[in-house]
């Protein structure tokens, strides 16, 4: 059977079953492209319904360079062709798969499958962290990918070099069962037509949840895997709200991502004869309501009555948090995000959402709409990219304790042999971190600088850590790094050298804890700390330091501080993915590591006072408390006679803080870096941070900390200052001594 005939049979079956099919065209690049052109020319698919993703636009259809594959988010295509000869990027593979509609075809162009795993490509170059080269990068991800292609239903494989058909991909599937009639709920606010437009009961439940946005202080979260109709539900709801005169703003990572929202809103308004006008990504209803697209950074400034955020998982947490200032807001998000940083929503943003004043409605859509349940391409993609990776079920790990867990090395070859072990380890990383993405599966299996260690209980993973070798750079590379050249895979040496201007920071060798996660049912039992201890036992003699970097939260800072890691840096800007300021901490294991840690700890202590009234002024006081507590080494409190009199006057009720805040800052930093056991509460420490170190207004501080008035807050502050002077029992010293500080 010739490739066009194979493709035609696949497409016929896909349309008959409302499923998708995957055609793999394997062989040398030129032959693959020629065959793909022949296939697309013979299939009854319009070029306007087709997208090619790859380096060269060799088809007469829409073309996206590989780096722009995210433009497919929120869109559906009848056919997508991914040319993976130059680079097989897991994130891209997920995105192109997610864009194919039911009854459609995904075409993957690949080198000969038997040879593909051992053919390095441009994606491998990103895994070749110095001193390793591309030759050191593994081939396990591609080997596993080829295995899944050959094992799964609905995948046809054509070898264009030999002309053979390895598999026709036909499944003899049955037509999709019709969906039941969807009826409006009782006492519905939206018109019946909104519910009649729904294709599943799941989708109708989502539309009903949007009805709550008719009132202020309401939030809606709609979660689903791809193809479940969450964007369509958002569009139906947006149209229904506009019918009531509501101004609806829709935002998404890119305008294209909101196409389905606008299509469904337009259809509802048109069917009801209520579409009064239409502009560039704007719909106007006869009642005066509207639906319009605004880019993510301008959504709040548009002052909408209702804000709908589609593809929320692909947006930075800092933006998502800002959207909570809108009284009526909805988030539609993908659970298994092909876009990569999708876990930011569920791991980091949900905490902000839970603390907001909004009354929350949550809906999860499970029934597929864009393709039939059990779609073989979805089953394949979830397996191939480990999108279905799950930590062990609670019942098999609930008995885990410090005395019965085992420390193990999870080397890539072992993970390749044991799918359950791979799923449990990778699933833990996915569930506990905001950045885990399909690309990380390839890194886990193939990156030569990474290693995995875990604690297991009766063979199941209960805590896991991903580790990266860093540092140990030669003098020439350190010099080039200092002069501005970037280096992959050495995050901490790069930061300390290029940003903090330490030319010798890259010489000591280190091990960075890239990620660490403990099973949700076993947290607060000391397992994470035990894993770190065992890692130190294994590697402590081989490296000079252990390090880590993460979006700072009070809970995480407390964990790392308790495990002996010391603060050396706090970023002045928020991380786009986590929405938090990133902190870097070190734990020395040798004399060289101790010198590095002490040097940067001292520099950090010197500079943070000025940063707190400027770039770090808006950071939550509890984060600052946690960062300062983890700074290495306390400095003695040094006050001259005048400074001591100013502090004593404040303790007696005089407003001397505004006259000269310097002595107060030194007193606050002395305590916060090395708190002395005594009667200073967390609330009082937050006042020290926000008023003294961040120079926030008394009224703001009083309101934030729950004091009944500005006066009461100032009085409590004076009492705190008095107790601190007693705790540190500081004697006045000379002005010269202060100058030496």
pLDDT in tens, 463-498: 999 999 999 999 999 999 999 998 999 999 999 999
Confidence of residue 630 (pLDDT cuts 50, 70, 90): very high
pLDDT tens, position by position, 239-260: 999 999 999 999 998 888 899 9
Q: Is 18 left (phi over 0), alpha (psi -120 to 50) or beta?
A: left
Q: Which CATH class is domain 394-615?
A: alpha beta
Contact 62, 71 (CB under 8 A): no
CATH of 3-167, one of 3.30.1490.100, 3.40.50.720, 3.40.50.11040, 3.40.50.300: 3.40.50.11040
CA distance 48 to 402: 59
CB burial of residue 711 (10 Å; 0-12, 13-18, 19+):
exposed
Residue 133 has pLDDT above 60, yes or no: yes
Average the pLDDT over 352-360 and give the result: 90
Tokens of 45: 């698919």
The reported pLDDT for the residue numbered 312 is: 87
CA distance 567 to 406: 30
Confidence of residue 339 (pLDDT cuts 50, 70, 90): very low
The reported pLDDT for the residue numbered 227 is: 79
Residue 357 has pLDDT above 50, yes or no: yes
DSSP-derived letter for residue 182 is P
Return the minimum-mean-pLDDT range out of 136-145, 303-312, 636-645. 636-645
* C-alpha 349: how far from chain center: 10
* Per-residue buried b or exposed e for 206-226, using 16+ beta carbons within 10 Å of the residue's own CB: bbbbbbbbbeeebbbbbbbbb
Return the minimum-mean-pLDDT range out of 166-180, 591-605, 650-664. 166-180
Helices first, then strands: H and E counts in the chain: 29, 22
Average the pLDDT over 509-528 and give the result: 94
Q: Is 445 left (phi over 0), alpha (psi -120 to 50) or beta?
A: alpha
The reported pLDDT for the residue numbered 416 is: 96
The reported pLDDT for the residue numbered 674 is: 85
CA distance 664 to 667: 5
Could you tell me which residues come within 8 angstroms of residue 475 by beta carbon, excluding any fewer than 6 positions away?
A: none
Fold match between domain 3-167 and domain 192-365: yes
Residue 739 has pLDDT above 60, yes or no: no
Average the pLDDT over 203-216 and give the result: 96
Q: How far apart are the first and last CA of the chain?
A: 83
The reported pLDDT for the residue numbered 741 is: 35
Beta bridge partners of 52: 63, 81
Tokens of 318: 């800092």
pLDDT tens, position by position, 64-113: 999 999 888 778 999 999 999 999 999 999 999 989 999 999 999 999 99
Average the pLDDT over 290-312 and give the result: 94
Its sign, for the CA torsion 334, 340, 346, 348, is negative
pLDDT tens, position by position, 532-564: 999 999 999 999 999 999 989 899 999 999 999
Assign domain 192-365 to its CATH architecture.
3-Layer(aba) Sandwich (3.40)
pLDDT tens, position by position, 102-115: 999 999 999 999 99
Confidence of residue 351 (pLDDT cuts 50, 70, 90): confident
Residue 338 has pLDDT above 50, yes or no: no
The reported pLDDT for the residue numbered 317 is: 77
Domain positions in the chain are 3-167, 192-365, 394-615, 641-740
Return the minimum-mean-pLDDT range out of 29-43, 206-220, 252-266. 252-266
């Amino acid at each position: 059977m010739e490739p066009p005939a194979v493709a035609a049979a696949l497409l016929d079956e896909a349309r008959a079953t409302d499923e998708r099919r995957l055609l793999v065209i394997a062989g040398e690049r030129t032959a693959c492209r020629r065959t793909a052109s022949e296939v697309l020319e013979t299939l009854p698919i319009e070029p306007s319904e087709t997208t090619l993703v790859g380096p060269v636009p060799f088809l007469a259809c829409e073309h996206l360079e590989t780096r722009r594959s995210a433009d497919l988010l929120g869109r559906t295509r009848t056919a997508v062709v991914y040319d993976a000869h130059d680079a097989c990027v897991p994130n891209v593979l997920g995105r192109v798969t997610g864009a194919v509609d039911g009854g459609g075809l995904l075409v993957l162009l690949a080198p000969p499958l038997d040879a593909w795993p051992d053919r390095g490509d441009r994606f491998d170059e990103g895994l070749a962290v110095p001193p390793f080269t591309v030759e050191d990068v593994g081939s396990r991800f591609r080997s596993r990918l080829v295995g899944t292609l050959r094992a799964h239903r609905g995948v046809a494989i054509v070898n264009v070099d030999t002309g053979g058909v390895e598999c026709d991909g036909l499944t003899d599937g049955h037509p999709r069962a019709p969906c039941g009639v969807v009826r409006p709920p009782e006492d519905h606010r939206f018109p019946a037509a909104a519910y009649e437009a729904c294709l599943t009961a799941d989708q109708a439940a989502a539309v009903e949840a949007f009805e709550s946005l008719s009132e202020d202080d309401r939030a809606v979260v709609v979660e689903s895997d791809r193809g479940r109709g969450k964007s369509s539900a958002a569009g139906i709801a947006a149209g229904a709200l506009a019918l009531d005169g509501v101004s609806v703003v829709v935002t998404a990572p890119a305008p294209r991502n909101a196409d389905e929202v606008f299509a469904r809103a337009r259809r509802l308004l048109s069917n009801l004869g209520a579409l009064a006008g239409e502009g560039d990504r704007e719909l106007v209803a006869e009642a005066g309501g509207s639906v319009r697209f605004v880019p993510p950074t301008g959504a709040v400034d548009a002052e909408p009555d209702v804000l709908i955020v589609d593809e929320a998982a692909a947006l930075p947490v800092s933006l998502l948090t800002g959207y909570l200032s809108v009284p009526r807001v909805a988030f539609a998000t993908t659970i298994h995000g092909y876009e990569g940083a999708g876990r930011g929503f569920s791991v980091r943003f949900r905490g902000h959402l839970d603390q907001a004043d909004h009354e929350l409605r949550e809906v999860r859509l499970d029934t597929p709409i864009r393709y039939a349940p059990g779609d073989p391409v979805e089953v394949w993609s979830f397996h191939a990219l480990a999108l279905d990776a799950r930590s062990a079920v609670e019942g098999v790990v609930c008995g885990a304790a410090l005395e019965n867990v085992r420390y193990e090395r999870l080397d890539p070859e072992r993970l390749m042999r044991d799918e359950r072990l791979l799923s449990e380890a990778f699933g833990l990383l996915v569930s506990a971190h905001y950045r885990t993405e399909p690309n990380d599966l390839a890194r886990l299996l193939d990156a030569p600088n990474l290693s995995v260690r875990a604690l297991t209980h009766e063979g199941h993973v209960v805590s896991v850590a991903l580790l990266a070798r860093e540092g140990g750079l030669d003098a020439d590379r350190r010099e080039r790094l200092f002069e501005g050249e970037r280096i992959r895979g050495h995050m901490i040496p790069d930061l300390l050298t290029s940003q903090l201007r330490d030319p010798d920071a890259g010489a000591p060798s280190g091990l960075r804890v890239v990620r660490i996660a403990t099973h949700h049912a076993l947290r607060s039992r000391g397992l994470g700390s035990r894993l770190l201890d065992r890692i130190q036992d294994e590697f402590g003699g081989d490296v000079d330091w252990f390090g880590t970097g993460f979006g700072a939260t009070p809970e995480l800072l407390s964990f790392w501080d308790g495990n002996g890691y010391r603060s050396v840096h706090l970023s002045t800007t928020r991380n786009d993915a986590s929405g938090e300021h990133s902190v870097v901490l070190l734990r020395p294991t040798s004399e060289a590591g101790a010198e590095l840690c002490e040097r940067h700890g001292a520099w950090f202590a010197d500079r943070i006072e000025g940063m707190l009234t400027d770039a770090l002024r808006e950071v939550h006081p509890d984060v600052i408390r946690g960062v300062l507590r983890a700074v290495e080494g306390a400095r003695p409190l040094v006050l001259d006679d005048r400074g001591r009199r100013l502090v004593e006057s404040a303790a007696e009720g005089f407003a001397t803080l505004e006259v000269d805040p310097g002595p107060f800052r030194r007193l606050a930093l002395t305590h916060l870096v090395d708190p002395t056991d005594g009667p200073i509460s967390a609330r009082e420490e937050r006042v020290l941070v926000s008023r003294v170190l961040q120079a926030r207004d008394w009224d703001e501080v009083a309101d934030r900390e729950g004091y009944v008035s500005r006066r009461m807050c100032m009085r409590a502050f004076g009492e705190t200052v008095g107790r601190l002077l007693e705790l540190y029992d500081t004697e006045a010293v000379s002005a010269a001594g202060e100058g030496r500080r």
